[in-house]
Amino acid sequence: MGLFSDVGRQFEKAKQTYIGDGQMEYICASCREPVEKNYEHCPHCGEETVEPVE
């Protein structure tokens, strides 16, 4: 898949997570997966950079 397809899919997943239950407050800076709380490491990829959603 192309870069834009991947980014679009990740954005839509994050948007649906946020809209669905309103619990998504953080996102991993590395894999861009939604994270429910401020973990020390991303539960999806292990990266240390979990940041607040703006």
Model-level pTM greater than 0.85?
no
User: Tell me, what DSSP letter sits at residue 37?
Assistant: S
How far is CA 34 from each of CA 1, 3, 45, 51, rounded to the nearest angstrom?
21, 19, 11, 10
| Segment 1-54, tens digit of pLDDT | 576 777 777 777 776 666 555 556 788 888 888 887 777 888 889 888 788 877
Cβ atoms within 10 Å of 36's Cβ, excluding its own? 12
